Chain A
Amino acid sequence: MSSRPLFPAHAEGPRPARLNLGRLALYLCLIAAAAAFLFPLWVMVTTSLKDMEAVRSGSIFGWPAQPSLEAWKSAWTSACTGLTCEGLRGGFVNSLLILVPSVALPVALGAVTGYALSFWRPRGGKLLFGGLLIGLFIPYQVFIYPLVRILSSVGLYGNIGGIVAVHTIFAMPIMLLLFRNYYASLPMDLFKAARIDGGGFWTIFRRVVLPMSAPIIVVAVILQVTGVWNDFLFGLIFAGSDNLPMTVQLNNIVNSARGAQEYNVQMAATILTALVPLIVYFFSGRWFVRGIAAGAVKG
């Protein structure tokens, strides 16, 4: 037995923070990755704040000598988006009009169908689920021509209703997959207890199941908002020329062949268009991760 003191003073308190080589390498990697993603954004922001004179003369990385919001104003109100020159304003409103029903409808339908399949187990439910999952793997370009014919025959081609219908149809497989799997992870006894307590189909959905669905609804809404907002092809084909979404108008601005390329306006327009998904991710990133995890691990 040595005479070592039983509790030496230097061994006390919280675990000391340490910066070892592994940590250092990790941080360097993270910083490099962040820089790689932030670099284009930096170029876009600085360019959008310059006037054309500065764009032509200066370096593309430099901060403008006299930053101005002229390019932003022009992108929003007066850039030419095809035949008209009224900026992205109209496209923004169109995109919103398409977005709200195209998110609400599939999410609501997915939640109810997933609930019915998981808990009520109707006959043929598995078949329906399997069929929809197959839909997930068929490239949607295949459907476009038949869909155009079908929608035009029921008067839904070239208007908001048509584009909402298209978004809803193509979102159903993934929505159903999300909700059914989430509900399958909830205990069946909960549903049984509600049955004994006398709840019907809608009451159990509204009072018991829906209040537990927040995490998966957040995931579904984020997926659908970004999907619909970033859509270009469906908007171009199905929305009709009066309802073209922002992405289509942005494309028209950037690809306009007439006159000199106004890089600053193009940058500003691009940022404006990307703003909605950006904000959604910014504010819901934590929820998103939590929701995905909640689907995987119980409790």
Chain B
Amino acid sequence: MSQVAIKNLDITFGSNRVIQNLDLQIEPGEFLVLLGASGCGKSTLLNAVAGLTDVAGGQIWIGENNVTWAEPKDRGIGMVFQSYALYPRMTVEQNMSFGLEMARHPKAEIRERVARAASMLQLKPLMQRRPAELSGGQRQRVAIGRALVRDADVYLFDEPLSNLDAKLRTELRVELKKLHAELGATMIYVTHDQVEALTLANRIAVMQGGVIQQLASPDEIYRRPVNRFVAGFVGSPGMNFIEGELQLRDGKVDLKTARGNLDVTRYPFAERPEDGRKVTLGLRPEHLQPEPEEGWCPASLTVSVYESMGADALLCGELSGATVSVKLPSDWSPIPPAGARVTMWYDASKVSIFDAVTESRL
């Protein structure tokens, strides 16, 4: 169990600055999830922590040690690669024992540890196979197993569950969570999967273009995204954005759009709202509901498409000049026909409002 501290990290490939001035402090035993679009530098950051990429500037500390220039094997890390990176000429068992063998652990202990990881990851029947004889999901489990058998202080996971089927993914997700509780090790975990990020993380770091946009608890990230990028990136289906400008009249604050006004008086503005400021209103699909509660405000929706998604349904349409989606319980009826106008209700204290130019939260 060690903390990981990254200060002023810069990584460049040629003239391409992939990580810029990045600061990140990960507490001992924390589960940190890195979330971000493809190509934003998540794998590069993991590689830097592992010592597999040379850094152009900055420092990396693991526990009490400055590891900025340390060899990968001396950093006390285990890593699962996005591409599995299993040794093709070794069996599953040899793949998992290799690291322990290199660290000169006694044979019996190696066997025992490998067996434990194998049974946890349901790899027992595959131990004597070569990687080429495994399915994608099985390979991924071996890659996880290979990282877990080493007792590292920090585990780095690069999209370790991306190739599994939905059921196994859920199972392993729970398994990883239990494992984290059991080992108490620090974990840095890259994923594209929102559910994984929101369920596993103590804190989530949302990255864009090599810069961390927001580092906070999953709840905070979901409820109070600091800017429009984070708001749009987290959540599925994505947040609805409605453009407009603020209008202050008689102690009321409205969002004035091309098609009518939306009341946002109850929104907890961080600073006093100014009249005429151009802003973007962010409404999550579940923030719009057909039945009002105390203090909610109405909005008129022109329905275009209704989609059932199992447990819930998605109603798409036009609201104040923007295309929006609304999440409803699937048993909600009657289903409105296309072109119908229905009134939806929202709680203005739960929405997000961003400056239209700087895109940061107001």
A binding-site residues for B, Cβ under 8 Å: 187, 189-190, 192-199, 203, 207-208, 211-212
B73 located at the interface, meaning its Cβ lies under 8 Å from any Cβ of chain A in the complex: yes
B98 located at the interface, meaning its Cβ lies under 8 Å from any Cβ of chain A in the complex: yes
Of the listed residues A189, A196, A211, the one surrounded by the most CB atoms of chain B closer than 10 A to its CB is A196
Instruction: Please tell me which one of the listed residues A192, A197, A198, A212 contacts residue B52 in the complex, with CB atoms under 8 A apart.
Output: A192
Known: A211-B89, A212-B89. A195 touches B72 (CB 8 A): yes
Known: A192-B47, A192-B52, A193-B79. A198 touches B103 (CB 8 A): yes
Cβ contact within 8 Å between B73 and A198: yes
B354, chain A: closest CB distance, angstroms: 38
Q: Bound state CA distance, A200 and B59, in angstroms?
A: 24
B270 located at the interface, meaning its Cβ lies under 8 Å from any Cβ of chain A in the complex: no
B141, chain A: closest CB distance, angstroms: 15
Instruction: Please tell me which one of the listed residues B79, B83, B88 contacts residue A196 in the complex, with CB atoms under 8 A apart.
Output: B79
Q: Which residue of A lies closest to B79 (CB)?
A: A196
Known: A203-B102, A207-B98. A194 touches B81 (CB 8 A): no
With a CB–CB cut-off of 8 A, which chain B residues contact A198?
73, 99, 102-103
B163, chain A: closest CB distance, angstroms: 15
B265, chain A: closest CB distance, angstroms: 54
Cβ contact within 8 Å between B73 and A187: no
Cβ contact within 8 Å between B89 and A196: no
Q: Bound state CA distance, A208 and B131, in angstroms?
A: 13
Q: Which residue of A lies closest to B87 (CB)?
A: A208
A212, chain B: closest CB distance, angstroms: 6
Cβ contact within 8 Å between B72 and A212: no
Q: Which residue of B lies closest to A192 (CB)?
A: B52
Q: Which residue of A lies closest to B77 (CB)?
A: A196
Known: A198-B99, A203-B102. A187 touches B83 (CB 8 A): yes
| Pairs across A and B, CB under 8 Å, 11 listed | A189-B83, A192-B50, A193-B87, A195-B72, A196-B50, A196-B52, A196-B73, A196-B77, A197-B73, A208-B89, A211-B89
Cβ contact within 8 Å between B89 and A189: no
A124, chain B: closest CB distance, angstroms: 16
B36 located at the interface, meaning its Cβ lies under 8 Å from any Cβ of chain A in the complex: no
**What string of 1s and 0s marks CB contacts (under 8 Å) between B67-78 and chain A?**
000011100011
List B residues 34-84 near A (Cβ within 8 Å). 47, 50-52, 71-73, 77-79, 81-84
B309 located at the interface, meaning its Cβ lies under 8 Å from any Cβ of chain A in the complex: no
With a CB–CB cut-off of 8 A, which chain A residues contact B73?
195-199
With a CB–CB cut-off of 8 A, which chain B residues contact A190?
85-88
B91, chain A: closest CB distance, angstroms: 12
Q: Which residue of A lies closest to B147 (CB)?
A: A196
Q: Bound state CA distance, A203 and B87, in angstroms?
A: 13
Q: Bound state CA distance, A199 and B84, in angstroms?
A: 18
Q: Which residue of A lies closest to B132 (CB)?
A: A299
Cβ contact within 8 Å between A193 and B85: yes
Q: A197-B102, A198-B102 are in contact. List 8 more A-B contacts (CB 8 A).
A: A193-B86, A196-B72, A196-B77, A197-B73, A197-B146, A199-B102, A203-B102, A212-B88
With a CB–CB cut-off of 8 A, which chain B residues contact A208?
87, 89
Cβ contact within 8 Å between B81 and A189: yes
With a CB–CB cut-off of 8 A, which chain A residues contact B87?
190, 193-194, 207-208
Q: Bound state CA distance, A136 and B221, in angstroms?
A: 59
A232, chain B: closest CB distance, angstroms: 39
Q: Bound state CA distance, A193 and B71, in angstroms?
A: 13
B98, chain A: closest CB distance, angstroms: 5
Q: Which residue of A lies closest to B43 (CB)?
A: A189
Q: Bound state CA distance, A187 and B87, in angstroms?
A: 10
With a CB–CB cut-off of 8 A, which chain A residues contact B81?
189, 192-193
Q: Bound state CA distance, A245 and B139, in angstroms?
A: 52
With a CB–CB cut-off of 8 A, which chain A residues contact B78?
196
B47, chain A: closest CB distance, angstroms: 7
Q: Which residue of A lies closest to B83 (CB)?
A: A189
With a CB–CB cut-off of 8 A, which chain B residues contact A195?
51-52, 71-73
With a CB–CB cut-off of 8 A, which chain A residues contact B85?
187, 189-190, 192-193
Q: Bound state CA distance, A196 and B72, in angstroms?
A: 5
Q: Bound state CA distance, A189 and B84, in angstroms?
A: 8
A133, chain B: closest CB distance, angstroms: 22
Q: Bound state CA distance, A197 and B50, in angstroms?
A: 11
With a CB–CB cut-off of 8 A, which chain B residues contact A189?
81-85
B292, chain A: closest CB distance, angstroms: 54
With a CB–CB cut-off of 8 A, which chain B residues contact A187?
83, 85
With a CB–CB cut-off of 8 A, which chain A residues contact B77?
196
Q: Which residue of B lies closest to A196 (CB)?
A: B72
With a CB–CB cut-off of 8 A, which chain A residues contact B89?
208, 211-212
Of the listed residues A192, A197, A207, the one surrounded by the most CB atoms of chain B closer than 10 A to its CB is A197
Q: Bound state CA distance, A213 and B82, in angstroms?
A: 24
Q: Bound state CA distance, A167 and B81, in angstroms?
A: 42
Q: Bound state CA distance, A299 and B79, in angstroms?
A: 23
A150, chain B: closest CB distance, angstroms: 39
With a CB–CB cut-off of 8 A, which chain B residues contact A211?
88-90
A213, chain B: closest CB distance, angstroms: 10
With a CB–CB cut-off of 8 A, which chain B residues contact A203?
102
Q: Bound state CA distance, A208 and B90, in angstroms?
A: 8
Q: Which residue of B lies closest to A214 (CB)?
A: B89
Q: Bound state CA distance, A194 and B81, in angstroms?
A: 11
Q: Bound state CA distance, A196 and B79, in angstroms?
A: 8
With a CB–CB cut-off of 8 A, which chain A residues contact B82?
189
A28, chain B: closest CB distance, angstroms: 41
A183, chain B: closest CB distance, angstroms: 13
A202, chain B: closest CB distance, angstroms: 12
With a CB–CB cut-off of 8 A, which chain B residues contact A194?
87, 98
The 6 closest A-B pairs by CB, nearest first: A197-B99, A211-B89, A198-B102, A189-B85, A198-B73, A193-B85
